[in-house]
Amino acid sequence: MLYFALVLLFIAFLFFWQSSRQRKAAGLPGGRIIYTDTGGWNKLEKPLYYAALELTGKPDYLIEKNGQIIPVEVKSGRAPEAPYDSHIFQLASYCLLVEKTYHKRPPYGIIHYEGRDFAVDYTRELEASLLDLLAEMKRDERRKEVPRSHEQASRCKRCGYRDVCDQSLV
Ligand code: SF4
């Protein structure tokens, strides 16, 4: 029995290690759980816009803290173990918009799920992955059918679009 439990523990560790490796390879930070006081959250009236990338978006809140501006994205529903990739990219685009609008680079952004908040570092790697993704989306806009770009069921598992995606692997 102890042997069986140890094998299970090892498999669980392997899955955890592999998913964090894949995440790092994609340049996505995992996000860390933090406590935030919603009292200091300011609602944004108008969307932010960055003409050079034709990018627009409206974070749910902005927090001003120690001279920094931190975007917050609120998601309904039960909190996942780690933020979905699509949510991380959405937050990263808000970090980019905040930097371009206020000329201050947010060190991180926050994804607020029901009962759990994740801080996601806005690293140079995440920014580069976001810019790649935006360029890819621009190219795909001109194409009628866009095939899935990977064979990783774990990515689909974490994806916020899997319910409507006809190419989901899970
Ligand atoms: S569910 Fe669809 S959109 Fe999401 S990662 Fe999988 S293939 Fe991509």
Coil, strand or helix at 39 = helix
Write down the pLDDT at residue 28.
Answer: 56
Atom of ligand 1 nearest to the CA of 169: 6
159 Cα to the center of ligand 1, angstroms: 6
Q: Please choose from 85, 145, 150, 156 the residue to mutate so as to test ligand 1's pocket, defined by most ligand atoms within 8 A of CB.
A: 156
Q: Which domains does the chain have, with CATH numbers?
A: 27-141 (3.40.1350)
Please name every residue paired with 120 in a beta bridge, in sequence order, or none if there are none. 109
Ligand 1 atom nearest the C-alpha of 156 is 6
Q: Which two tokens stand for residue 133?
A: 């993704």
How far does CA 160 lie from the centroid of its chain?
10
Task: Calculate ∠ Cα 109-110-113, nearest 5°.
Answer: 155
Per-residue pLDDT reduced to its tens digit, 123-161 = 999 999 999 999 988 888 777 677 888 899 998 998 888
pLDDT for the residue 37 = 60
List, in sequence order, every beta strand (DSSP E) within the chain. Answer: 32-34, 41-43, 48-50, 55-57, 61-65, 68-78, 108-114, 116-121
Quote the tokens at residue 44.
């944004």
Task: Report the distance separating Cα 133 and Cα 74, nearest Å.
Answer: 22
Spatial separation of the C-alpha atoms in residues 118 and 137, rounded to whole Å? 26
Residue-wise pLDDT for 85-108, tens only, equals: 999 999 999 999 999 999 999 999
Q: pLDDT at position 38, please?
A: 67
Position 115 scores a pLDDT of 85
Model's pTM, two decimal places? 0.66
pLDDT of res. 36 = 63
